[in-house]
Every structure is written in C-alpha cells, then in structure tokens.
Chain A
Amino acid sequence: MPPLLKLILIRLGLGILTLWLVSVVVFAATQALPGDPARAILGKEAANKAEYLALRKQLHLDRPLYKQYFTWLGGVAQGNLGDSIAQQGTPVTSLLKDRVVDSAVLVLFAALISIPLSILIGALSAVWRDSRFDTTVNLGNLSLAALPEFVIGIVLVLLFAISVFHWLPAVSRVDPSISVFSQLKLLVLPAITLSLAVIPYVSRMLRASTIEVLESEYVMMARLKGLSGNVVLWRHALPNAIVPTLQVIALNLAWLAGGIVTVEYVFGFPGIGSGLVDAVANRDMPVVQALCLLIAAVYVGLNLIADIATILISPRLRTGLR
C-alpha cells in the first residue's frame, strides 16, 4: 500500500473510532439518568404499573443495555433518532430538519464573511509587519479572541439594533414558512458575531505563515526577477501560506458548531444551537442525544477533512513519505 494512502486510512480509522466512542458516551450519559424515560413520559400517570411496563417494552427498556445501545445505534445509522419526549412523540428527525438547514446556512454565511476577511487581514499585517496597522490588528485580535461569543453578540445588538443605530433586527426569529434565504437580513448580526469570533484565529495563523513564506528563497527569487510586490504576494506567496492555515480554518468551522449555541440563543435564531438549549431545559433526552451526536460528528468530520487535506496538499508531507 502506498504510504500516503496508509496515512490517510489511519487518520480515517482514528476518526471513525473517535466517533464510535462519542456515540457510546452520548448513549451511556443518558443511561445515567436517575429514573427512566418511560417514567418521564408518563409523568404522574406512572402509577399504572401495567401501562408503565408496556411503555418500557415499547421503548425497549426491558432489554439489556448493550442491546439497547445497538438498537439505538442501528436507528441512528438509518436516520431514525427516536421520538421527542417534550413534543409528544414527534420524530426527532422531522423536528430538527429545519433547524439543521438554518444553522448550516448561518455557519456558511459566517464562513463566507470571515474567511476572505481573515486572509486579507492576515496577509496585510504580514506585509506591513510591526507597523501601526499590524499592532492594532494584533490587539484587536487578542481582544476578540478573549470575548465570549454571546458578549460579542449582545454588544452588537446594543450597538446596531437598539441604541446607536436602528438598522438591523435584534431578534432573528426566522419565519419557518418562508425560505431562510429570503430573510437574509435576520442572518446579518448572528453571522457577523460568529465571524468576529473566528477572524482572530484564522488571521493570526495566516499572518505567521505568510511571514514564513515571504522569507523563503523562492519568494526572494520572484522578487529578484523583478516581479511587483503585489504579484509576489497574491500569486506566489499567499497560495502557499494558506496551506498551513487550512487546518485552522477547518478547526474554526468546527468550532462554529459549538459557537452557534450561545449566539443562536442571543438572537433567538431557530437553529440546532437554540434547539439544544431548549432540549436541555426540557430534558428532552432524545433531542439532546441527537444534537450532541450531530455536533460532535461535524466537529470530528471537519477535523478529519482538514488533516487529510493537509496531507494531500502539502508537498513536504507528500514527498517526505516516498
């Protein structure tokens, strides 16, 4: 087997192993619940023993734990995530379908704003290293990286939606009957919030890798050939500087999966983040399980893609293996 393929397969295997362990944790965690789901569904009516036992049987609670786990995992694999407890037995999948789409649109929107902007900021602060611009960007990044996302979101609401300007809606209650694309105005503040939280990490990484590339011999060569500074930067240096940044970009997109929890709650945006908060408040375990599993899968998946992309793209890793 070619070593490159072997390396990728090992990464893939580790990713799948992690995901499987995550599913065990999510399942086991819900088993630690004092009392059982059957009692939770029936509430005070659990006094009726026969009805309670019937429901336990219906929910497969009478089987051994490992069998319950594999039944559950099999369901998950087929897209059956069980029924919501809080919403009177509505299937979790149909409950979460719209939320997943809305959140995906939000994250995509945030990525479209933050990635080009981070690349621009990172490249410029590398070119103008130690200038006033660079120092300002550095301190700005440091502050933004420190701020919790909900703080950024609320400050934006205070600035743009309430006190200083009245441009944008403070609450992003997307109308579920119309497509989210026709309500883009509602996406602006949540997406900017997420972008501001991501930009520091990506632009800092890009600055560092651009500086490294600008000091390399082939960039020196391009300069000596008489190419203009702009051509050298954008055509020759930047494409190579982006490679090590890919991992950070993917990590940050993955991180957005967690960041949306508080941000969606700030804006009342009906995605998977606010869905998780609601489900936790209602102790709707099937929904909590589904969302935790989904978010962890996105997180592990993006990390995996980043690792594999880095292996494939970076010539040093590729040739080093041969």
Chain B
Amino acid sequence: MSAPDATPELLAAVTPAEKRPAQWIVTIREAWRMGRTKAGVIIFVAIVALALLGPLFAPDSPTSFVGAPFAGPSAKAWLGTDYIGHDVLSRVLWGGRTVIGLALAATVIGLLLGVGLGMISGYARRWVDETVMRILDIVLAFPSIVLALLFVSIVGPKLWLIVLMVGISHAPRIARVTRAATVEIAQRDFIKSAEALGVARRKILAFEILPNITSPLLVEFGLRLTYSIGLIAGLSFLGFGLQQPAADWGLMINENRIGITVQPWPVAVPVILIGILTIGTNLVADGLGRALIGIERDTGGT
C-alpha cells in the first residue's frame, strides 16, 4: 500500500474519532442506563466513603483498650469489644482504607503489566507472542493465592510483596484480553495506513491501538478489582497481610474468629462489609461488560 492511497483512509479514521467521545466514555454511558450498574456504583461509593471518612467518626482510637475482651455490644461500645478489648466499631471505621487502597494498587499493577505485555504480544505476533504467552502460562499455572503464598514464604509477609504478587497474578488474564483486542484492531485499515506511513511502532501502540481497546480494559479493571479485594482481604485473613496492631478488615476476622461464638460482631461486620464491597464492584463490572456486548452488537464490532 502506498502512502497517497493510505492518507484518505487515515484521515477518515482519525477525524471522526476527534468528534466522537472516547470509546470508554460511550461504554460508561451505556452501562449507566442499567439498574445494576447504578446499584453497584452506589454500593462502592458508600463503602469507600465509610472507609475514607470512617476514622473521623470513630468514637475511640483503634488501638486503645476500652473494656474486657470479647464483651458484647453496650452503650459504650456499640459493637462490643474485640479479642483484647479494642472498640470494634472504631476498628471497623478505621479498617477499610488498607483493603481498598491495596486492592486498587494491585489492580493497577496488574493492568499495567497485562496491557503492556498483551499489546506487545498481540501486535508483534510470531516468536515474541509465543514467548510472552508461555511465560504468562507459568503464572497462570498457580492459583493467585498460591502464587502469593509461595513468595510470602520466601520474603515474609510484606505489604508491597502482596500487592505486587496479586498484581502479577492478574497479568496473564488481562494480557489475554488485551492481546485478543489488539490482534483484532491491528488488522484494521487505519493501522495498516499508519504502518505504511512509517509511524513508529510504539506510537501506533500508544495512539492508534490503545484508544481503541479501552472498553474491554475498563471491564477487566472492574473484574480484577473485585478479585483483588478478595485476595488482599484473604491474605490478611490468613495472617500474611497487615500485622497487629493495625486496624484492617481482613486482619480483624483473623484475630477475632476464636471468639466467634461469644462475640460474633468483630468477625461478622468486616466479613459483611468486604462481601458487599465485592458485590458492588462486580455489579459495575457486569454492567460495563453488558454495555460493551451491546455496543459491539449494535455497531457490528466497531
């Protein structure tokens, strides 16, 4: 294909894109029409607000002792006390930041790794593709939590390690989605035109391909965030995340489960909050996924 042939096509591909809103914005708009997306967003915002603003309303410090261990709810401590006499309500209000913050960080790491590897793999094809996919198969051979535990057993229960391992364990699946989307886009005429015009490959990846795969990535982000919350909270629950005396929902479940028959609240409240949060993020991810399928069906894959 010669350059003069390609130019009108390139123009045709670029010009409308400047007028049209970005792909991911269209998907969000479409998703917002669904009740489940709204419900998910409301749940997510409510729990995040509780986690961020909770400390302002906590009646006590999360590490001060307010009564006997495993005391039931009273006027002084609405949700009772935990295994060493901390106020449960205060610890609940303080303990959401870490779960949400670490889960977001892990998801971002997973997305950066997965998108990077997936785009390179899908655009370069041939041996680069094969090599990257084989390496990711190794990561995929370990269930996420087992991969994290393997490295925790070596380095010790460090927070950065847990975030990194959860991120790495997400990378293969995100890379597969990215790769599939990239392969599809790379066959389009406007990419061929850009190649014919001699645009640098990394520029093609960053400015031509990436803007056209943002919708599936948005769906992936929602899904992976849901799993990140479960994994981060789960690792804290196993005793390998936040360490005492930190206030953290996962850690609270671990600390207080021996007293679950006497004083269920320090276990029940964090469990329910983690559960509701994951349901919220998954509802949003599902809404986005349905919006994406709907848009693809309507426009025949554009």
Contact = CB atoms under 8 A, between A and B. Distances in A.
B279 interface: yes
Contacts of B145: 258, 261-262
B153 A279 contact: yes
B205 to A, nearest CB: 27
Interface stretch (B72-80, B83-91, B235-243): B235-243
Interface stretch (A25-33, A110-118, A188-196, A231-239): A25-33
Interface in A202-258: 254-255, 257-258
Contacts of A26: 150
B275 interface: yes
A150 to B, nearest CB: 6
Contacts of A285: 153-154
Interface residues of B, number: 43
Interface in B228-252: 229-231, 233-234, 237-240
Interface string A10-50: 00001001110110011001101100000000000000000
Given A283-B153, A299-B143, A25 B279 contact: no
A151 B275 contact: yes
Interface stretch (B57-65, B106-114, B134-142): B134-142
B302 interface: no
Interface in B246-302: 253, 257, 260-261, 264, 267-268, 271-272, 274-275, 278-279, 281-283, 286
Given A158-B260, A170-B260, A258 B153 contact: no
A276 B153 CA distance: 10
Contacts of B282: 142-143, 145-146
Interface stretch (A68-76, A288-296, A314-322): A288-296
Interface residues of A, number: 51
A148 B233 contact: yes
A291 B146 CA distance: 9
Given A147-B275, A147-B279, A281-B239, A29 B150 contact: yes
A148 B141 contact: no
A107 interface: no
A261 B138 contact: no
B138 A25 contact: yes
Given A146-B278, A258-B144, A261-B146, A18 B137 contact: yes
A17 B253 CA distance: 40
Interface in B136-177: 137-138, 141-146, 149-154
Given A22-B141, A150-B237, A300-B141, 14 more contacts: A18-B141, A22-B138, A25-B138, A32-B154, A142-B279, A147-B278, A148-B233, A151-B271, A151-B278, A258-B146, A261-B146, A265-B237, A265-B238, A292-B149
19 contacts: A18-B138, A29-B150, A142-B286, A148-B274, A148-B278, A151-B233, A154-B267, A154-B271, A157-B260, A158-B271, A254-B143, A258-B143, A258-B146, A259-B143, A262-B145, A277-B149, A277-B239, A288-B153, A299-B143
